[in-house]
Amino acid sequence: MIIDVSNLVKRYNDFLAIDHMSLQIKDGEIFGLLGPNGAGKTTLTKTLLGLCKYDSGSIKLFGSELIESEKKIKERIGLVPQDIAIYDELTAIENVQLFGKLYGLSGSQLKAGVKEALEFTGLYKLKDKSPSQFSGGMKRRLNIACAIVHKPDLLIMDEPTVGIDPQSRNYILESVNKLNKQGCTIIYISHYMEEVAAICSQIAIVDKGRIIAQGTKEELAKLIEGDQVLLITVQSVDFSTIEKLEKVPMVKDITLNHNQIRIISSDSVINQVMNLLISNDVQINKIVTNSPSLEDVFLTLTGRALREESN
């Protein structure tokens, strides 16, 4: 077990940021942490890395308490922070070199690590350029290069693909898989469900400081097995109609995103919903039925749309 969190509690004054959370991450996993803002993901990461104290519970990393051998543990961890945290005044290679030194590398080990990290992120040819000349995606890749220069056993990636182009996103996702195949355990924190679903072998859904569900993508989908998802695109709809839809039997959850109504129900409710919309003079443009996705699982479990809250 690389990470063993047991009964962790962290409070900010009266606010309970982590509520008796327990979490185990095995060696070699890509572990996805899903949750909206304020769910406790960042606090959990900070606590894991010793950036903030916790009130009770225990954290074991690589079998040891963080406080016991912090330096040794930190040498084995890489962090890719959500905000790009590199020095704009240094070139790409100088950035990676500095982080390599700060992780304790020197000499030929440092030289090899720097070259490998830059090649891995596709930035070796641009090594002498300043990050200020980079695109957002290239900066994100440099952000990653600085975290993997010392070949960590555990890499924590906090929203590594926020605000970048699809090409860079694909590059990063491929890189995550490659790193994992090289033996690196990865904690991937994101609110992009499709990314988490695509690359993570284990997924934990976090809400209000608790893990409300955990398992593989398939295991999580089973939690709402038999449920149906109805996507109805309408011309316009008022909230009183939505309230009426919520009262339709077997409807578990309803969200309205722009002009699209998303209904999760335990059985087919299409007839009742259609009748209700027509009787309320709602003009229907499109109807689609789906089997539940990871997002639907989240929606059902938390009653909240993930991306809306995160953005």
List interacting residues with other proteins (CB under 8 A): 46, 49-53, 66-67, 70-72, 74-75, 77, 79, 81-87, 89-90, 94, 98-99, 101-104
Give the other-Cβ count within 10 Å of 13's Cβ: 5
Q: In the 8-state DSSP scheme, what is residue 282?
A: P
Q: Are 237 and 284 in contact (CB under 8 A)?
A: no
Q: Minimum Å distance from CB 67 to other proteins?
A: 6
Give the other-Cβ count within 10 Å of 69's Cβ: 14
Placement of tokens 């400081």 in the chain: 209
Q: Minimum Å distance from CB 74 to other proteins?
A: 4
Looking at the Cβ atoms of 155 and 211, the one nearer to other proteins is: 155
Q: Minimum Å distance from CB 70 to other proteins?
A: 5
Q: Minimum Å distance from CB 152 to other proteins?
A: 11
Q: Minimum Å distance from CB 245 to other proteins?
A: 42
Q: Minimum Å distance from CB 113 to other proteins?
A: 14
Q: How far is CA 193 from the centre of its chain?
A: 8
Looking at the Cβ atoms of 132 and 271, the one nearer to other proteins is: 132
**Residue 125: which residues within 8 A CB-CB, separation 6 or more?**
none
Dihedral pair phi/psi, residue 279, rounded to 5°: -65, -20
CA atoms within 13 A on the CB side of 255: 18
Beta strands in the chain (DSSP E): 3-12, 15-25, 30-34, 56-61, 64-65, 77-80, 154-158, 185-190, 202-207, 210-215, 228-234, 251-257, 260-265, 284-290
CA atoms within 13 A on the CB side of 169: 14
Looking at the Cβ atoms of 77 and 230, the one nearer to other proteins is: 77
Looking at the Cβ atoms of 159 and 296, the one nearer to other proteins is: 159
Looking at the Cβ atoms of 132 and 236, the one nearer to other proteins is: 132
Q: Are 18 and 47 in contact (CB under 8 A)?
A: yes
Give the other-Cβ count within 10 Å of 302's Cβ: 21
SS3 135: coil
Looking at the Cβ atoms of 150 and 262, the one nearer to other proteins is: 150
Looking at the Cβ atoms of 107 and 226, the one nearer to other proteins is: 107
Q: Minimum Å distance from CB 71 to other proteins?
A: 5
